[in-house]
Structure 1
């Protein structure tokens, strides 16, 4: 992309900020250029955020029904999925999948709960409960 072609669509997803992108200058060298957004990127980002919000709401409903543990909701509410939570917490993915089962989650040790609290940056009380909607 040429330097003068860098989109400046004032994307609402940037919240008034600029993003550094690289474009080719007149001499054919890459140069950092600020962009205020691109309409297509903004649309794709908004669709992804909407999808994440839908997944989070579904996890909340499932947790309220007792189908999954509160961890399922809190994980998604903080934009983690199983692989990223595993990487951040030190648990294996198969362990996290087990911890999503209410009966297993209810028996987790203090140490394991504290690891989740530290990773998700929430209190123990918050981890063990669900918002009322």
Structure 2
């Protein structure tokens, strides 16, 4: 794309002080960097991805409130993690983290393991045990 054609569409992430760095071709045919406030197709894709995340968070919260899953699943979704990432942060195997999604297993976890999860989510153990059902 030519430098003068760099998209400047409105974006949820862009503001007056925040623009994305892009490459474009200048008048001499050379690649140069330029700033863009957004590009509509990219904004649509980003909004769709964020909507999917919100839906996964809502589903995880519903499962926790219905005693079908542990709060670990909910907080993992809130923090936009997957099992692999969470497992690496808490220094456990993926199968162990998945096992901790089960309420019976979660209720038997030691404070030491709960502290690892709480530290990753930057909350207290008490907050980890009880999600806020008003949000």
TM above 0.5: yes
- C-alpha separation in 2, matches of 1:83 and 1:2: 41
Structure 2 gaps of 5+ residues are: none
Aligned to 2:86: 85
The 3 A distance-change label for structure 1 pair 127 and 25 is: same
Pairwise CA distance, 1:4: 2.3
Structure 1 gaps of 5+ residues are: none
After superposition, the CA RMSD in angstroms is 1.7
Structure 1 window deviating more from structure 2 (2-11 vs 122-131): it is 2-11
Aligned to 1:56: 57
The 3 A distance-change label for structure 1 pair 38 and 63 is: same
Write the deviation string for residues 51-98 of structure 1: whole angstroms up to 9, x where unpaired. Answer: 111110111111111111011111111111212212333222111100
TM norm structure 1: 0.89
- C-alpha separation in 1, matches of 2:129 and 2:29: 56
Contact 1:13 1:46 in 2 (8 A): no
The 3 A distance-change label for structure 1 pair 90 and 30 is: farther
Contact 2:65 2:133 in 1 (8 A): no
Pairwise CA distance, 1:115: 1.2
For residues 17-96 of structure 1, the aligned pairs below 5 Å read 17-96=18-97
Write the deviation string for residues 10-44 of structure 1: whole angstroms up to 9, x where unpaired. Answer: 21233552111222334444322111011111111
- C-alpha separation in 1, matches of 2:15 and 2:125: 32
- C-alpha separation in 1, matches of 2:132 and 2:15: 27
